Amino acid sequence: MNPADTPCLIFNPSAQGGKAGRFRSHPALPRGQCVFLATSAPGDARRLASQAVRDGFQTVIAAGGDGTANEVLNGIADVPGGLRAVRLGILPLGTINVFARELGLPLNARRAWKILALARERTIDVGRAEFTLAGARQRRYFMQLAGAGVDSRAIELTDWSIKKKIGFLAYVLAGFKALSETRPLVSVRAGESAAGEWVEANPSAHSADAASAKGETADGEWVGIGNGRFYGGPLPVFPRARLDNGLLEVCVLPKANIIRLTAALAGMAAGRMHQFCRARQFSASSFTLTSPARVLLQLDGENAGELPATLAVEPRALRVLVP
């Protein structure tokens, strides 16, 4: 079997509450048309993806959730020239599958596999984060989103045994726990190529052009960063984000209490967030996140490390398979 002509499929057996453990026999996958590699622990997908690149595979497919896909992305990037040499495919088997939704992939495994088999390619931006982990600076890429504040704390509080049973609702329960705690402020400072506006009940009351947004600092109890539009599933938290425009979109909520978040969710569902809550939104090619307290940074729905962090976009650096 020639690795250059055969996709390598890395799958997480614990995805979908463990249902993906029977993945090799899934009727959506024709036998003999790909190499299967199963993960057994956190970090395995990254290691297996790196090895697949070194073995000469030119198509690596992440079968699982956003966390598995993020590990595979970073495994590809760990090999010099890997991002240029390898195409990333996503077979959505996770709880939320935000990146698959952004790419327009069906969440049905059989239909998604048919699309991947056609091998239609698109080149998109990828986010790069530098942060602190165990006292040392680390670098990691992300595909869809990042966040710091109440969401990263909720991820930390999520009971993974409960998540296997009730899926997304486990995040909701953890979110309520995070909201009941003291919530430290996170500061975000825009770098170059920034543009933005105040988005609130009266959006014309506070506006900023590209020049004033550049280098400006905003503070909030939640800071979300989008390479794509969606967050938490099909919610268009970052409506102006595009996967190939060389920018990341930032959304800052000054207060992340239940009332404000409920209003924000209602606004997102209606497609008119600015009419429901006050938030700071702008786009930038790079920015920094800091906090006087311990705050975790999440990348593609998994906590990666702690602030301070620097985030930037690498334009059109990732090859992905799309419908």
Residue 321 included in any domain: no
Of 119, 137, 160, the position where a domain reaches its end is 119
- A 10 A CB-CB count for 48 gives 20
For residues 40 and 143, state if they share a domain.
no
d(CA 88, CA 115): 13
What are residue 50's phi and psi, to 5 degrees? -60, -45
Quick one: angle between helices 169-179 and 150-157, nearest 10? Answer: 120
- The answer to whether residue 112 is domain-embedded is yes
How many independent structural domains does the chain possess?
2
84 and 143 part of one domain: no
The answer to whether residues 142 and 78 belong to one domain is no
Whole domain around residue 144: which residue ranges?
128-316
287 and 239, same domain (yes or no): yes
CA distance 105 to 102: 8
Give the end of a domain, one of 89, 119, 149: 119
Q: Report the distance separating Cα 282 and Cα 170, nearest Å.
A: 30
323 residues of the chain, pLDDT tens digit each: 688 889 999 998 776 555 555 555 655 565 567 899 999 998 999 999 999 999 999 999 999 999 999 999 999 999 999 999 999 999 999 888 999 999 999 998 889 999 998 989 999 999 999 999 998 999 999 999 999 999 999 999 988 788 777 877 887 788 888 888 889 999 999 886 555 544 443 333 344 444 345 667 899 999 999 999 999 888 888 988 999 999 999 999 888 877 777 777 676 666 666 566 677 888 999 999 999 999 999 999 999 999 999 999 999 999 999 99
Does residue 162 sit in the same domain as residue 287?
yes
Domain at 101, CATH number: 3.40.50.10330
